[in-house]
């Protein structure tokens, strides 16, 4: 089956929204010396652009969680496959995610990071597939809300493919999974 992709967010739309989020975060976190915690792998491009849109430097760390395997549906079972490395107790944390679907990943990581005793913990995601939510997660900063579909590009992958596209596309796999 041929894989068809359709443009959803072009470079200009992404750049404009990231600049807006950067300005908002610069206001909200000024003087707080926050740590931005990116969720690997998907958030690496969004995080890279976001920190460069800030008016001051921040510290950066990463976690990695796995749920999907090669499929496009969350199993709801999340594993931590890489933990943070900075001491985060008493720090102001911003968890940076690429896309929120059912919400299982962020629910898990929020609990995990809260157990480290941060001064605050907020969440910033590029894309919110709000209608697909199964577990309530407070999203403090949202780039775009989309109804659903499976998206690739700008860090988002389909079985490790299409992650490095500079724009975001919806992929129609004709019922097939993202197996590489």
Q: How far apart are CA 180 and CA 178, in angstroms?
A: 6
Name which of 29 and 108 has its Cβ closer to Mg ion: 108
Question: What are the helix and strand counts (H, E) for the chain?
Answer: 3, 9
Q: Restricting to residues 2-41, which ones interact with ligand IMP according to CB under 6 A?
A: 39
Q: Which does 151 bind (CB under 5 to 8 A by kind): ligand IMP, Mg ion, none?
A: ligand IMP
**Residue 29: which region, alpha, beta or left (left: phi > 0; alpha: psi -120 to 50)?**
alpha
Q: Is 42 in the site for Mg ion (CB under 5 A)?
A: yes
Nearest-approach distance from CB 39 to Mg ion, in angstroms: 5
For residue 179 the two structure tokens come to 């197996």
Pick the catalytic residue: 101, 128, 140, 157?
101
- Dihedrals phi, psi of 85, to nearest 5 degrees: -120, -25
Comparing CB distances to ligand IMP, the nearer of 53 and 170 is 170
Among 61, 41, 19, which Cα is nearest to 155's?
41
Residues 6+ apart with CB under 8 A from 48: none
The distance of closest approach from Cβ of residue 98 to Mg ion in the complex, given in angstroms and rounded to an integer, is 5
What are the residue numbers of the active site? 101
The binding site for ligand IMP (CB under 6 A) comprises 39, 42, 67-68, 74, 97-105, 150-151, 156
The binding site for Mg ion (CB under 5 A) comprises 42
């Amino acid at each position: 089956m041929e894989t068809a992709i359709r443009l959803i967010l072009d470079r200009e739309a992404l750049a404009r929204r990231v600049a807006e989020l950067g300005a908002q975060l610069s206001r909200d976190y000024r003087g707080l010396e926050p740590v931005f915690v990116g969720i690997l792998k998907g958030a690496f491009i969004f995080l890279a652009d976001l920190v460069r849109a800030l008016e001051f430097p921040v510290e950066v760390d990463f976690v990695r969680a796995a749920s999907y395997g090669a499929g496009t549906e969350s199993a709801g079972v999340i594993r931590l496959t890489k933990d943070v490395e900075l001491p985060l107790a008493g720090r102001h944390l911003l968890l940076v995610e690429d896309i929120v679907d059912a919400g299982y990943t962020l629910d898990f990581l929020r609990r995990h990071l809260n157990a480290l005793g941060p001064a605050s913990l907020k969440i910033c995601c590029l894309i919110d597939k709000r209608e697909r939510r199964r577990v309530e997660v407070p999203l403090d900063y949202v780039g775009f809300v989309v109804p659903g579909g499976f998206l690739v590009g700008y860090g988002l992958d389909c079985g490790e493919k299409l992650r490095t596209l500079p724009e975001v596309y919806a992929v129609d796999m004709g019922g097939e999974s993202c197996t590489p």
